[in-house]
Amino acid sequence: MPRIFPVLDDMSGQPRIEKGNSGTPPSGSPGVPTGLYTQVLDDGRIVVTWYPPSEGTQKGYYLYRYDDVGSPEFKDRIDAPQGGVSYYHNSPTPGVTYEYYVTAFNDYGEGPNAGPVTAMVPGLPSGPQPTPGPTPTPEPEPSGFVPGQNLRRISDIVRKRLEEIQKEKAAGRWPPWGYR
């Protein structure tokens, strides 16, 4: 997969946005998006949500996604339109921690970044997994114990005793100590 690099500042070839440090934004660029957070949905997707910056106007947002916390290069830069204040990561790899930053941009340039926030879909990452060892032999159960059968035996005993009590009530012999 090709690498996507940050927006370059002038012709120096140096990235203007760095992970965790936005540098000096251009004059007139929007402020920092606020309220950045992530949520792992029940269907395994990650949603990243934010609020517009309180200062400046923006034309849209850039969301930077890192597939490895601590990685110096981001994996994707996603463009979100002006009205968009959320991003759905539809197929994250289980067990991988993702890190996200968001910036707002306008005609003057890209503002400072909000973040980082992280999220991880529980589970093992896909790909080669360690080969499990041999399945351990279960310990023998105490003599006379057969899983599932003891429960049936107990419920049979309880059912029979309840039937006996019903018969004794019908015959007027219940409770055995009488009503005094």
Rounded CA-CA distance 125/41 in Å is: 17
Q: Residues 101-140: pLDDT tens digits?
A: 999 999 998 999 998 999 998 886 555 666 666 766 666 5
Distances (CA, A) of 96 to 5, 37, 78, 93, 127: 21, 17, 19, 6, 12
Look up the pTM and report it.
Answer: 0.57
Q: Which amino acid is at 94?
A: P
Tell me the CA distances in angstroms from 62 to 21, 50, 78, 90, one per residue in order: 15, 12, 6, 17
pLDDT tens per residue across span 15-70: 444 444 446 778 888 999 999 999 999 899 999 999 999 888 888 999 999 887 77
